[in-house]
Amino acid sequence: MSSDPVLVLDDLSIALATISGEVPVVEHLSFSVAQGSTIALVGESGCGKSMTALAIMNLLPQGFRCSGGRILFEGEDLVAATPSRRRALRGNRMSMIFQEPMTALNPVFTVGEQIAEALRAHQNLGRRAAAARALDMLRAVQIPAAENRIKAYPHQLSGGMRQRVMIAIALACRPKLLIADEPTTALDVTVQAQVFDLLARLQEEMSTAIILITHDLGAVADIADDVAVLYAGRCIEQGATRVVMEQPLHPYTAGLMVCVPHLQPGVMAARHRLLAEIPGMVPPLGQRPTICAFSDRCTRVGNDCLSEPQPPLFTLAPTQAVACLHPLQRETTA
Amino acid sequence: MLGFVRRLVNAVALLLAVVVLNFTLIQAAPGDPAMVIAGEMGGASQEVLADIRARYGLDRSKGEQLVTYVTKVAHGDFGYSFYFNRPVAALILQRLPATLLLVLTSLFAAVLVGAWLGILCARNPDGALSQIVSVFAIAGYAAPVFWTGLMLLVLFASVWPVLPVGGMSDLASPKSGLALVTDIARHLVLPAATLAIVYVAQYSRLTRTSMIEVLGADYVRTARAKGLPELVVVYKHALRNALIPLVTVVGLQFGQVLAGAVLVETVFAWPGLGRLVFDSILRRDYPTLLGVLFFSALVVLAANLVTDLVYRLIDPRIRTAGSGVS
Amino acid sequence: MTMIPMPAHPEMLGPANPPHAPGPSPPLPSPASPAAEIATRLLRRPTGLAGVLIITGFLLAAFAGPHLYPGDPFDVAGLPFSPPGEDLVLGTDYLGRDILAGLLHGARATLTVGAIAALITLVIGVAIGALAGYFGGALGTALMKITEFFQVLPTLLFAMVLVSLFGQTLTVVTLSIGIVSWPPVARLTRAEFLRIRGLDFVKAARAAGAGAPYLILRVILPNAAPPIIVAATLAVGTAILFEGGLSFLGLGDPNVMSWGLMIGQNRAYALDAWWTVALPGAAIFIAVLGVSLLGDAFNDAINPRLRRRT
């Protein structure tokens, strides 16, 4: 069991080609994921989390490209690798599950076939062996009556079950890295918990590293070991989940924490009656300033914030890094 | 299965309606129904007319006449063609195979070539091929099929005489066995190509649109995320879904293709129903015309049923509808 | 689910929820009427412009042509089979008739039949589709059965039978084409009505007390219009091809010169005098092309989201 990180993003930048030139989508993003651990990428819609995931998998849509940096997967730089090398890794050593289970499965093939296909493509299994392994995977994701369900078509299953099938497909080849892009956003609340439990259990069994992309801070607190907060394509805080969520250093992160509605009226009612929000809007794509992107909404903004370029992440504590010129003070523990 | 049986019953009902329509047309046309049934050719004599009146019960009430007519049709009696001097049913059945050969070959070719072109365009939507196919699609629809046929005929008869331009086989030196098959095939090329051109244009455009939409679907993204080769993604995962609208259109259009066949057969002297219709029109041979109308409706209904079957084969959602489980 | 840790810095939000102005946004361009906007978008596309030009050209030829270039197309104007350019601009056919005169007069017949037949198709199709889509139920099913019946009969054959039974006049030809072509329009209209009927603004109008005729004609139909208009342009093209086919087979009005008639009558001589069939056919081709391009461009103009360019 190596202690080297499975994935290292080193100063990764992604850009989009538009009529008026290239526009940055993700800028100088760096983080690493250790084997068997989970890192959450959080941020508002449009902050670049999904693009990062697609870049790692080499599934960027047309017009997008990696404009700088490296993606080191088990030491190998993927940005420099050939497309066929990346395809060999995809679904095999690294895989991804998506947000919409209702449409993510092909309606004309059985779920068993769709799992077995991944196995046949990467592990050279014969038809029968692949089918047997597919059945094992269905059981592993806890689908009841798996022997019958393996011949079912996607439209005959519920959303929660389809997402389990997606997980089965993703983990069939026992990848080292699993990227989950908002896996439970489209599911009922009760099913959400089950899916996260399943992911945690499978992670333990297979020592898979997980990148969880979400804006559900509850889930982050639940299963993520580390968290990276993105704003307007830039990482503004990063570190161990517990630390970042209890003692955020960046004003945006702190604002996010407060925005989460709390269901204990007795405790909070005295101070906040209305739902909290951070006034202002994220700068749209193509209109990001070189200065701190959050400066127009920040209550702690200083003159240096408006004149100097956005600072890079620097480590303020052993498990916490922030990209801010006026970070919040850490409450020293007695 | 029940769905299919229902459609079968529906088809029979429609066929019955066609028979009623034929009857109505005979009655509604100006002039004596007996004359209509006799066909205006040959100046039917008084005895013939009297005979017709007796056999079809034309002096009875309309209701009784309808029953008589329907009963006759049910027994395969579609009337008699005084021009061709044969029972209409036999006449039509003799010519039907040639038309079916032409139509099915054209459709088959059009689907193969059209779908393939459409796939190529979908993989490169803004490329040169895409533009060419778009233009070709509009041009293929706008050009009247009989004009395209004539132009091809002129081209291959005078400018580049490598293919025969008329008939189904070489009547001057009849062949048999494999040589006959080859001979018919050579004669089939031009008429089938003419008819196919119209539909290649349309099908390639349709497949292109359908494929582009399917290639953007979530399940295709999943297939790519599995690391499958691009060809597998396109031809295994995407194509089957993209073909569904194409099957629909091909099935719905069968009537139109028959109509096109009539025109093409006229141009190339292909001995099918089209020629029969053309000659019958000239001679006002109404029994034959109405018989052809009935038989073409029959063929269209059969084509619809086949399309439905193909649908059920391709799309499991239709096959297993109603057996959902949570 | 784990409790989110209590926020350490609630003051980060500043004063509790001050009303904030979102900041100045760029001024919106003043909207023109939808029809004018669509028309501009249409003309800006090369296909739309080409379509409009072609159709205008043909309309001019049809109505001004015979005045500027008089001469009965049925008259013998020269020696038979004289090629274009020799004697007359476009040559003569097998009887020595002037082809250019034939084209110009034929334009009038073809375009008139095309337009009126398409109109008949539209009226019948929209009426049936609207009633079936709005009322549904037994009426809808019955109307759809009728539509299905008409779709089973191959259109050309049915029209041929009608014309040969009821006489070869321009009226019968036009009516026949109109009567056999309406099913696709009915299906489309019905589908649109079904879709729009369930939208909120229709429910609101009904709740305000609007009756069926008002809802159908003034509320739903205008919203269903765009795809129906596209179908209408297609119907004109189909009708022109249809008329060409009927005349080619000898089922058109023998007293009216039309392009299909020219092709049909000169068919036997195509090998020797290619221009007698090539030119009228080209006329049909370009006319239908113009109409199709227009319909296509219109389709794109009303559906700008189809033109995704990433």
Please give the full DSSP string across B103-161, using - where no structure is assigned. HHHHHHHHHHHHHHHHHHHHHSTTSHHHHHHHHHHHHHHHS-HHHHHHHHHHIIIII--
What is the Cα–Cα distance from B316 to C86, expressed in whole angstroms? 65
Higher model confidence: residue B16 or residue C116? Answer: C116
Token output for B76: 């395969």
This prediction's pTM: 0.77
Residue A272 pLDDT: 54
Q: Which residues pair with A97 in a beta bridge?
A: A180
Q: Which amino acid is at B286?
A: Y
Mean pLDDT computed over B229-258: 87
Please give the full DSSP string across A34-99, using - where no structure is assigned. -TT-EEEEE--TTSSHHHHHHHHHT-PPTTEEEEEEEEEETTEESTTS-HHHHHHHBTTTEEEE-S
Instruction: Say which residue the tokens 């062996």 belong to.
Output: A129
A5 lies within 8 A of chain C by CB: no
Q: Are C48 and C294 in contact (CB under 8 A)?
A: yes
Token output for C252: 């058109």
Q: Are C252 and C112 in contact (CB under 8 A)?
A: no
Is residue A275 classed as helix, strand or coil in its secondary structure?
coil
Residue C308 pLDDT: 39
Token output for B191: 């008429």
Verify whether the Cβ–Cβ distance C10 to A272 is below 8 Å.
yes
Of B19, B35, B30, B25, the C-alpha closest to B68 is B19
Of A35, A24, A27, the C-alpha closest to A177 is A35
Pick from A251, A274, A300: CB nearest C16: A274
What is the Cα–Cα distance from C236 to C256, expressed in whole angstroms? 19
pLDDT at C9 over 80: no
What is the Cα–Cα distance from C140 to C295, expressed in whole angstroms? 29
Domains and CATH numbers, chain A: 5-224 (3.40.50.300), 249-322 (no CATH)
What are the backbone dihedrals phi and psi of residue B242, each rounded to the nearest 5 degrees, phi first?
Answer: -75, -25
What is the Cα–Cα distance from B264 to B268, expressed in whole angstroms? 6
Mean pLDDT computed over C32-37: 69
Q: What are the chain C neighbours of B18 within 8 Å (beta carbons)? A: 149, 152-153
Instruction: Say which residue the tokens 């036009």 belong to.
Output: C174
Residue B24: enclosing H or E segment and its boundaries? helix B2-28
Residue C21 pLDDT: 43
Q: Within 10 Å of residue A295's Cβ, how many Cβ atoms?
A: 16
The three-point CA angle B291-B294-B298 to 5° equals: 135
Residue B304: enclosing H or E segment and its boundaries? helix B286-314
pLDDT at B212 over 50: yes
pLDDT at B326 over 50: no
Q: What are the chain A neighbours of C19 within 8 Å (beta carbons)? A: none
Higher model confidence: residue C203 or residue C310? Answer: C203
Q: Which residues pair with A64 in a beta bridge?
A: A16
Token output for B221: 């993204």
Tell me which residues of chain B, numbers 296 to 315, contact chain A at a CB-CB cutoff of 8 Å. Answer: 314-315
* pLDDT, chain A, mean: 87
Mean pLDDT computed over A259-276: 63
What is the Cα–Cα distance from C77 to C180, expressed in whole angstroms? 38
Q: Model confidence over A100-140: pLDDT tens digits?
A: 888 899 988 999 999 999 999 898 888 899 999 999 999 99
- Cα nearest neighbour of C4 on chain A: A218
Mean pLDDT computed over A156-167: 91
Q: Parallel, antiparallel, or unpaired for β A177-181 and A21-33?
A: unpaired
A260 lies within 8 A of chain C by CB: yes
Of C124, C121, C125, C131, the C-alpha closest to C220 is C131
C271 lies within 8 A of chain B by CB: yes
Domains and CATH numbers, chain B: 16-74 (no CATH), 95-325 (1.10.3720.10)
CA distances from B191 to A137, B195, B201, C239, C297 (A): 55, 6, 16, 23, 32
Q: Parallel, antiparallel, or unpaired for β A314-317 and A234-240?
A: unpaired
C148 lies within 8 A of chain B by CB: yes
Q: How close, in Å, is residue B292 to chain C by CA atoms?
A: 8
What is the Cα–Cα distance from A197 to A182, expressed in whole angstroms? 15
Q: Are B207 and A101 in contact (CB under 8 A)?
A: no
B210 lies within 8 A of chain A by CB: no
Q: Model confidence over B259-289: pLDDT tens digits?
A: 899 899 988 888 888 888 888 877 778 788 8
Q: Which residues pair with A26 in a beta bridge?
A: A14
Residue C66 Cα to chain centre, angstroms: 26
Q: Which residues pair with C131 in a beta bridge?
A: none
Token output for A250: 């960046």
Residue B216 pLDDT: 87
Q: What are the chain A neighbours of B219 within 8 Å (beta carbons)? A: 103-107
Share of chain B above pLDDT 70, in %: 95
Please give the full DSSP string across A111-177, using - where no structure is assigned. HHHHHHHHHHHHH---HHHHHHHHHHHHHHTT-SSHHHHTT--GGGS-HHHHHHHHHHHHHTT--SE
Q: Model confidence over A60-114: pLDDT tens digits?
A: 988 899 998 999 999 899 999 999 999 999 988 999 999 888 889 998 899 999 9
Pick from A88, A108, A166: CB nearest B315: A108
Q: What are the chain B neighbours of A152 within 8 Å (beta carbons)? A: 325
Q: How close, in Å, is residue A121 to chain B by CA atoms?
A: 7
Q: Are C293 and C51 in contact (CB under 8 A)?
A: yes
Where is average pLDDT lowest: A178-192, A284-298, B161-175, C6-20? Answer: C6-20
Q: Are C162 and C179 in contact (CB under 8 A)?
A: yes
Residue B219 pLDDT: 92
Please give the full DSSP string across chain C, using - where no structure is assigned. -PPPPPPS-GGGG-SSS--------PPPPPP--HHHHHHHHHHHSHHHHHHHHHHHHHHHHHHTHHHHS---TTSB-SSTTPPTTTSSTT-B-TT-BBHHHHHHHHHHHHHHHHHHHHHHHHHHHHHHHHHHHHH-HHHHHHHHHHHHHHHHS-HHHHHHHHHHHH-S-HHHHHHHHHHHH-HHHHHHHHHHHHHHHTSHHHHHHHHTT--HHHIIIIIIHHHHHHHHHHHHHHHHHHHHHHHHHHHHTT-S-TTS--HHHHHHHTGGGTTT-THHHHHHHHHHHHHHHHHHHHHHHHHHHH-GGG----
Is residue B274 classed as helix, strand or coil in its secondary structure?
helix
pLDDT at A56 over 90: yes
Contacts of B133 (CB under 8 A, 6+ apart): B117, B118, B121, B201, B204, B205, B208
Residue A31: enclosing H or E segment and its boundaries? strand A21-33
Residue C22 pLDDT: 44
Of C176, C170, C178, the C-alpha closest to C124 is C178
User: Strands across the sheet with A76-77, in order?
Assistant: A21-33, A7-18, A64-73, A76-77
Higher model confidence: residue C137 or residue B326? Answer: C137
Q: Within 10 Å of residue C292's Cβ, how many Cβ atoms?
A: 23
Verify whether the Cβ–Cβ distance A245 to C13 is below 8 Å.
no
Pick from B232, B240, B326: CB nearest A108: B240
Token output for B215: 């290639």
What are the backbone dihedrals phi and psi of residue C125, each rounded to the nearest 5 degrees, phi first?
Answer: -60, -45
B223 lies within 8 A of chain A by CB: yes
Instruction: Say which residue the tokens 């090998």 belong to.
Output: C271
pLDDT band, very low/low/confident/very high, at B135 (cuts 50, 70, 90): confident
Of C149, C129, C147, the C-alpha closest to C194 is C129
Q: Model confidence over B79-102: pLDDT tens digits?
A: 777 777 788 888 888 888 999 999
Verify whether the Cβ–Cβ distance C249 to B301 is below 8 Å.
no
- Cα nearest neighbour of B291 on chain C: C161
Q: Model confidence over A180-219: pLDDT tens digits?
A: 999 888 888 888 888 888 989 989 998 999 999 988 888 8
Where is average pLDDT lowest: B82-86, C33-37, C138-142? Answer: C33-37
Mutate to test the interface with C, among A281, A299, A326, A331 (most CBs of C within 10 A): A299
pLDDT at B322 over 70: no
Q: Model confidence over C288-298: pLDDT tens digits?
A: 998 888 887 87
What is the Cα–Cα distance from B7 to A82, expressed in whole angstroms? 53
Highest average pLDDT, of A23-32, B252-261, C58-67, comes from A23-32
Q: Model confidence over A215-251: pLDDT tens digits?
A: 888 888 888 999 999 998 999 999 999 988 888 888 8
Residue C174 pLDDT: 93
pLDDT at B44 over 70: no
Tell me which residues of chain C, numbers 230 to 249, contact chain B at a CB-CB cutoff of 8 Å. Answer: 237, 241, 244-245, 248-249
Does ipTM top 0.95? no
Q: What are the chain B neighbours of A170 within 8 Å (beta carbons)? A: 225
End-to-end CA gap in chain C: 40
The sign of the torsion formed by the CA atoms of C255, C259, C261, C263 equals positive
Verify whether the Cβ–Cβ distance A155 to B229 is below 8 Å.
no
Verify whether the Cβ–Cβ distance A152 to B325 is below 8 Å.
yes
Domains and CATH numbers, chain C: 44-62+91-303 (1.10.3720.10)
Contacts of B191 (CB under 8 A, 6+ apart): B102, B106, B149, B264, B265, B267, B268, B270
Is residue B193 classed as helix, strand or coil in its secondary structure?
helix
Q: Model confidence over C166-175: pLDDT tens digits?
A: 888 889 999 9
CA distances from B39 to A143, B31, B266, B320 (A): 72, 11, 22, 52
Residue A162 pLDDT: 92
Q: What are the chain B neighbours of C167 within 8 Å (beta carbons)? A: 30
Verify whether the Cβ–Cβ distance A100 to B320 is below 8 Å.
no
Residue A132 pLDDT: 92
